[in-house]
Amino acid sequence: MGKIRPEAQHAVREVPRLTPAEVAEILALTHAAGDADGAYPLSEHVVLHLRHGGDAPATHLLARIDGQLVGYAHIDPTDVVEGPSAELCVHPLYRRRGLGRALVTAAIAAAERHAPQGRLRLWAHGAHPSANALALSLGFARTRVLWQMRRSLFAPVDAPRLPEGVVLRTFRPGLDDDAFLALNARAFAHLPDQGGWTARDLHVRLGEAWFDPAGFLVAERVADGAMLGFHWTKVHGGHTEVHGGTVDPHELGHHHEQGHDHDPIGEVYVLGVDPSAHGLGLGRALTLAGLRYLRSRDLDQVMLYVDEANEPAIRLYQRLGFARWSTDVCFRRPA
């Protein structure tokens, strides 16, 4: 392993909760890193918590040199199944000083308080070679890969064909919350970060400035009103504060929207189908309906996140004109 320079090790300080001034510093730091790397360094899940002051029990690591914030790491210990996860960034002008290594080492120590067996997941947004080398040198193994895929909304978008007895409508906040959470849990039973959403997780997102109920589409069975699927679209960049995760916070939300300079872009934010309705073509129909809605907003492009291992979903998206744009990688430190 490479050595941590003393000044880098001493620069890192752990704080249990962030002040508004510290949150502002962190967001400025992440924007600088994202502009330099071409990929925002934090997931939407983390940004949402940051904007609420860094909710407990998350741990925050701040690295300062001469009083300036030059590095940040966020450790989320709440997933008792997969173990703690960490995301970090270093200011582009202060790299190659051991700050990244110091932050990861401190994150490992912080995670061990919650998972004594030493498990930790480390997310690298953008799959930069330096992040890969750092993770591997510290004993992490590459375990999960997420693709960001994009397509033009100028290209034709077919009309959706719904199964007989199924209709589309928009989501009704307050009335559909329980049904959505139950369906979300069934649809993403294999992804605890997404399938484990609570009412609070939902309400935080419903309260975001970007939320538009017209872009949250629900497939409903006419006979009994059962919710069979949903496509929650999103428009981010250029107009709101706060991606996308994957959500798993990483598959369904690997982006932020605060202070973007780029033009707005649409997103297939969350797409889920009840396992009992698989094989009916609902996934394709819901995707097309969402794409047509986003195109009605005069957007040029749409993006989404999908697990590299989810080959059926990738094939569906490719048939609908999506192509791979960028990659996020999850590294795991074994117990």
Query: Which of 171-185, 219-233, 236-250 shows the lowest mean pLDDT across its residues?
Result: 236-250
For residue 81, what pLDDT is reported? 65
Percent of the chain at pLDDT exceeding 90 = 62
Q: What is the pLDDT of residue 7?
A: 66
Q: Are residues 27 and 103 in the same domain?
A: yes
The pLDDT of 221-229, averaged and rounded, is: 97
Mean pLDDT of 219-234: 97
pLDDT of res. 275 = 96
**Do both 126 and 168 map to the same domain?**
no
188 shares its domain with 242? yes
- For residue 237, the model assigns a pLDDT of 64
For residue 191, give Cα distances in angstroms to 85, 94, 118, 251. Answer: 14, 36, 21, 10
Q: What total number of domains does the chain contain?
A: 2
The answer to whether the predicted template modeling score (pTM) of the entire model surpasses 0.75 is no
> In this structure, is residue 1 part of a structural domain?
no
On whether both 81 and 219 belong to a single domain, the answer is no
The per-residue pLDDT for 259 is 40
**pLDDT tens digits, 51-77:** 766 566 789 999 999 999 999 999 988
Among 97, 117, 139, give the residue marking a domain's end.
139
- Give the domain extent around 258: 149-326
Which of 104, 139, 174 is the C-terminal boundary of a domain? 139
How do residues 298-331 score in pLDDT, each as one tens digit? 999 999 999 898 898 899 999 999 999 888 999 9
